[in-house]
Amino acid sequence: MSRPTDRRSQILETAAGLFASRGYHGVSVADLGAACGISGPALYKHFDSKQAMLAEMLVSISEELLRVGRQRVADAQGPDAALEALVAWHVDFALRHRPLIVVQDRDWESLPADAREQVRSLQREYVDLWATQLRGLDPALDLSAARAMAHAAFGLINSTPHSGLLADPRMRDLLTRMALGALRG
């Protein structure tokens, strides 16, 4: 992950690493505080609860994926360039945020219902952003198929925390080639 710029971001980054390695339920507030160099109760100056931390962590990554994805599409010259930009963005994100991908996958059920719905809504918009570009490349492609293709590409790219046995530059090239090959195939 990139270096956090403030204490709250540093706590979220530390929590993501701990949640990824031990699971949300395997990490106590005291564990989080110790890893951040503060007491467990001092975390409550920054977050209402451990669950609030998880919610902010997963909502914020979904917001970032969508925000940057939209910008990449807006800056691209046509659907093929937009698809390349989206793949490059998602691969970069996956390589930089491995713990968040693990937490999203494994600790989803620990999210409060309102945060789960917010993440789902943001993710639907992100999928549709990709689906629109895929349909721009192939107007005969129906929306359901385009969404399925986007989800399949995410699965490939998001396997990074489990399959990233190569150095990041090689993994970036491999994931990019594979995702674009699958999406254009």
Look at residue 58 and tell me if it is in a domain. Answer: yes
Look at residue 8 and tell me if it is in a domain. Answer: no
Look at residue 33 and tell me if it is in a domain. Answer: no
Look at residue 27 and tell me if it is in a domain. Answer: no
130: nearest Cα among 174, 66, 75, 178: 66
Question: Which of the 8 DSSP states describes residue 140?
Answer: T
pLDDT per residue, tens digit, the chain (185 aa), is 444 458 888 999 999 999 999 999 999 999 999 999 888 888 888 999 999 999 999 999 999 999 999 999 999 999 999 999 999 999 999 999 999 999 999 999 999 999 999 999 999 999 999 999 999 999 999 999 999 999 999 999 999 877 767 899 999 999 999 999 999 98
Neighbours of 160 (CB within 10 A): 22
Amino acid at 19: F
Tell me which residue range forms the domain holding 68.
51-184
Rg (CA), the chain: 18
Tokens (6 digits) for 133: 């570009």
Distance of CA 180 to CAs 24, 26, 86, 184, Å?
Answer: 33, 37, 10, 6
Looking at the 3D structure of the chain, how many domains does it have? 1
Q: Can you give the CATH number for the domain in which 55 is found?
A: 1.10.357.10
Burial of 25 (0-12, 13-18, 19+ CB in 10 A): exposed
